[in-house]
A and B are shown apart, each in its own frame.
Chain A
């Protein structure tokens, strides 16, 4: 038995709660990323500056989530310690919804 399995048997986890937490974080990420897209479109950002804006916004949201939702202890709610920082930032629907609203608002306001 490898150490990871042993640790899992000593401290068992609740799979439903892991799924629930991941879903909560994914919901917040997709909501906030479309709002960042709206803001980037209003500000008229182009190419790299838009993606830098998205990265900055995502890290602000991560900090807020760690402080307010996880109460400063993300290891109580997630398997990995970095999950709350990186989850759904580049994978999933968040980045694509950012680009969708970004291009939409840019086109509405500038074109």
Chain B
């Protein structure tokens, strides 16, 4: 929130200094340099804008080390890199699965043979 206010303020300053520089170039001969107050305003607005942009991206980076990142995931989501290991089914009915697989592979074999004939 503070960074947004900072960005808006410094953009206003930048637009104002841009306008001042434009007026100055219209009203005076081209070779004269910019007045000191416009220069200072431009520099201040740019530095403030840098602060605003950097502060608005705060907390944006993520740690690249797995040891740190897994800890962050565990704390925030309650489930880290190996969370799926906790959620496996407790009991697998192996006979039913095997029968299902046999049916499926037989069906596939018949399908392919019927295509051949």
Contacts and interface: CB of A to CB of B under 8 A. Distances in A.
A110 B29 CA distance: 11
Interface SS majority for chain A: helix
B50 interface: yes
The interface size bin for chain B is 20 to 34
A24 B65 contact: no
B62 interface: yes
B54 A69 contact: yes
Interface centre among A31, A109, A110 (most CB of B within 10 A): A109
Interface string B71-100: 000000000000000000000000000000
Contacts of A69: 54, 57-58, 60-61
B62 A43 contact: no
A45 B61 CA distance: 34
Contact of A21 (B45, B49, B62): B62
Interface string A67-92: 01110000011110000000000000
B30 interface: yes
Interface centre among B39, B54, B57 (most CB of A within 10 A): B54
A70 B25 CA distance: 42
Contact of A43 (B25, B39, B54, B68): B39
B54 A13 contact: no
B18 A24 contact: no
B63 A57 contact: no
A76 B49 contact: no
Nearest to A84: B61
Nearest to B15: A38
Interface centre among B22, B55, B65, B69 (most CB of A within 10 A): B65
Interface in A33-91: 35-36, 38-39, 42-44, 57, 60-61, 64-65, 68-70, 76-79
10 contacts: A12-B65, A13-B66, A17-B63, A28-B53, A35-B14, A39-B14, A42-B21, A76-B63, A109-B18, A109-B22
Interface of B: 14, 17-18, 21-22, 25, 30, 33-34, 38-39, 42-43, 45-47, 49-51, 53-55, 57-58, 60-69
